[in-house]
Structure 1
Amino acid sequence: MGRSSVQEEVKGVTGPYWQSLREGQLSVQRCSRCGTHIFMPRICCPRCHGTELSWVPVSGRGSVWSSTEVHRAPSAEFKARTPYWVVLVRLDEGPTVMAHYLPADAADRPLPDTRVDAEVQDPMEGSGMPLLAFRRHA
């Protein structure tokens, strides 16, 4: 069976991120020099350009910065989920991540400043990749 359109190689700089999701935990990089939490994975700190970055688990809590409701799936794996929400969440630790939003009901909208908690979903059919999502904080 070939790789799906959303499956990526999980080695190199992004490997630890995908591994942490497989283990049910959201992790980001942290710069040993200045302490900045970093996401998207990279080889040097965008703040101080330090290269000693480690992977640390984060709380998974944050606030919605922006959101959009998707009606056209980018690939076959996402088609069954449409319509669905995609959010930019500013984590309490600082970095911003993009993920799905799982509404509690049809009226639940991820408005700016909505407090949310991360949840790692099982891989979608055919993708083999875990899915990062957020729900409204209880």
Structure 2
Amino acid sequence: MDKQTEEFRSGLRQGELLIQRCEQCSRLNMYPKFACPFCQSEELGWAQAAGTGSLYAFTVCRLASPAGFEEELPYALAIVKLDEGVQLLGRLTPDEDGEWNGYALDTPVEFVTAGSTGEGARPIAWFSRAGSSAA
């Protein structure tokens, strides 16, 4: 695992959603890179995201899963557009009934630390509906 990815994952383990920030042009990008995609500077740092955004796309995985995720079925994968303008892949917390029927495109969501903090935790960006009890 490279340094950029590890810093992002370490932030998730600590309950922080980090976005890579170029120190030269101040633009944000996601996912972590070795050089800024806008100005090609290698001077990159990190900014803590507000953790709020909207649901750009999502799917519920029920039948098949990549190796290592079989025990987690079913689960919802989402592309979230953060208020900072970048998009990232994350997971959605289920509704109280264990389903995701309360979600729709453009639903306001917020970053939560469900299952992604602590030693041995799988560092995944989790999101729930903004203002829900899971937040």
TM-score category, normalised to shorter length:
0.7 to 0.9
Structure 2 match to 1:37: 28
Q: 1:87 aligns with which of 44, 54, 78?
A: 78
How far the C-alpha of 1:130 sits from its partner, in A, is 2.4
Structure 2 match to 1:121: 114
Q: Call closer, same or farther: CA 1:43–1:107 in 2, change over 3 Å.
A: closer
Matched, 1:49 2:33: no
How far the C-alpha of 1:56 sits from its partner, in A, is 1.2
CA RMSD in angstroms, aligned pairs only:
1.9
Letter in 1 for 2:66: P
The superposition leaves residues 52-104 of structure 1 with CA deviations (integer Å, 9 ceiling, x where unpaired) of: 1101111111111111111212123x223212110000110111010011122
Letter in 2 for 1:96: Q
Letter in 1 for 2:115: D
Superposition TM-score, scaled by structure 2 size: 0.82
Contact 2:15 2:116 in 1 (8 A): no
Superposition TM-score, scaled by structure 1 size: 0.81
Unaligned runs of 5+ in 2: none
Letter in 2 for 1:114: T
Matched, 1:74 2:57: no
Structure 2 match to 1:97: 88
Paired-residue identity, %: 29
Unaligned runs of 5+ in 1: 1-8
Contact 2:116 2:125 in 1 (8 A): no
Q: 2:124 aligns with which of 125, 131, 136?
A: 131
